[in-house]
Amino acid sequence: MDSTVALMLAQDGLVVGAIYILLALGLVLVFSITRVIFIPLGELVAFAGLSMVALQGGTMPQPIWLLLCLGALCAAVELVAFFKPPRDGRHLRNALAYAAYPCALWAVFAQLEQRQLPDALQVLLVLALVVPLGSMLYRLAFQPVAEASVLVLLIIAVGAHFVLLGVGLLLFSAEGFRAQPLWDARFNWGEQPVSGQSLLILAVTLSAIALLYGFFRRTLTGKALRAAAVCRRGAQLVGIGTERAGHWAFTLAAAIAGVCGILIAPLTTIYFDSGFLLGLKGFVGAIFGGLASYPGAAAGALLVGMLEAYASFEASAYKESIVFGMILPILLWRSLAAGKPHGDEA
């Protein structure tokens, strides 16, 4: 391996590692607040990427039908809760919002079908489609059992993953698609070519990290989420609603997944199940931080990206095994460092 190849692989590892960083941060965010290992995060990445492809082709994004179904189910659940005494008007307002938003978004997509839209509008529409899915998944699958053990929540997350995987196959079939780059410029860094899409990924990742830092440090909602992550019971005692915190966590994670899907779709062919591997690699990065430390998760995700890039050159047949094999020594080290037995809440 000469220096040119090494620099090329380093660039690939850095770009892919940036995607893994965002996914790892999303997983840590959800787990620290709700204790849910959000396995379906990868499916939201694939849905966002494939929706971007559909909008670029002037067709209706297929996940709109999933949004309509989930919205109807959430509205039904809220109506049932409204008619149980004591009646709370918030449930009725929530039911109306869950029913109205997907219908309004479907009407927007129907009006814009067969039109070539600006890239910025396409990005906004994809986020408007994918982001609410996170909150709806939380309302249907996790909010009713929010106080259950981590093991129960994990089983539910696995079930949600398989449901979304089947829905993805139904909506998109087994065919793969690739989006057009949002920035198709080409640059030269010495003798190393650099694509505009790669620079865009790095810039968006750094911006997202800065925005998340500012959100959690400077806003009242962010501080409330930090409090819920530190101690759920203590947050409840001072009036911070853990249900609302859960909705915020899943919404932010869905937004991160949407951004990742939009960014990575021009780099590789996206299939209905492509997000699962991406999410797992983000999870490997999150394990470095113990599903609690954001800097640790970011560093681990970057290491995963670099290791994957170099492993694909030296031992491509064992690339996935090498990446996922990193989990074992990390878990062993953390288990030995803890120095005490763990229950299902550890």
DSSP labels for 104-136?
HHHHHHHHHTT----HHHHHHHHHHHHHHHHHH
Q: With cut-offs at 50, 70 and 90, classify the pLDDT of residue 341.
A: low
Domain presence at residue 139: yes
| Best CA proximity match to 297, nearest among 28, 83, 11, 10 | 28
Domain presence at residue 83: no
Q: Is pLDDT of 236 > 60?
A: yes
**pLDDT tens digits, one per residue of 188-208:** 877 778 888 899 999 999 999
Cβ neighbourhood burial of 194 (10 Å; 0-12, 13-18, 19+): middle
Domain presence at residue 304: yes
Q: Is pLDDT of 138 > 70?
A: yes
Contact between 250 and 134 (Cβ < 8 Å): yes
Q: Is 195 helix (H, G, I), strand (E, B) or coil?
A: strand
Domain presence at residue 10: yes
Domain presence at residue 103: no
Q: Could you tell me the residue range of the domain that residue 18 belongs to? A: 3-59+114-179+194-338
Q: Is pLDDT of 100 > 70?
A: yes
Distance CA 7, CA 192 (A): 7
Distance CA 289, CA 325 (A): 16
pLDDT at 345: 47
Distance CA 99, CA 139 (A): 14
Per the structure, the count of domains in the chain is: 1
| Best CA proximity match to 141, nearest among 241, 73, 228, 87 | 73
Domain presence at residue 121: yes
| DSSP string for residues in 258-294 | HHHHHHHTTTS-B-TTHHHHHHHHHHHHHHHTTTT-H
**Residue 231's domain is classified under what CATH number?**
1.10.3470
Domain presence at residue 69: no
**pLDDT tens digits, one per residue of 255-281:** 999 999 999 999 999 999 999 999 999
Q: Could you say which DSSP state residue 17 is in?
A: H
Q: Is pLDDT of 314 > 90?
A: no
Q: Is pLDDT of 47 > 90?
A: yes
* Percent with pLDDT over 70 in the chain: 96
Strands 186-189 and 192-195: antiparallel
- Over its C-alpha atoms, the chain yields an Rg (Å, rounded) of 21
Instruction: Work out the angle at residue 202's Cα, subtended by the Cα atoms of residues 197 and 208, and round it to the nearest 5 degrees.
Output: 120
pLDDT at 339: 60
Domain presence at residue 128: yes
pLDDT at 323: 81
Going by C-beta distance under 8 Å and a sequence separation of 6 or more, which residues neighbour residue 309? 9, 10, 12, 13, 16
Distance CA 227, CA 192 (A): 46
Which range of 63-72, 79-88, 170-179, 309-318 scores highest in mean pLDDT? It is 63-72
As a whole number, the mean pLDDT across the chain is 88
pLDDT at 272: 92
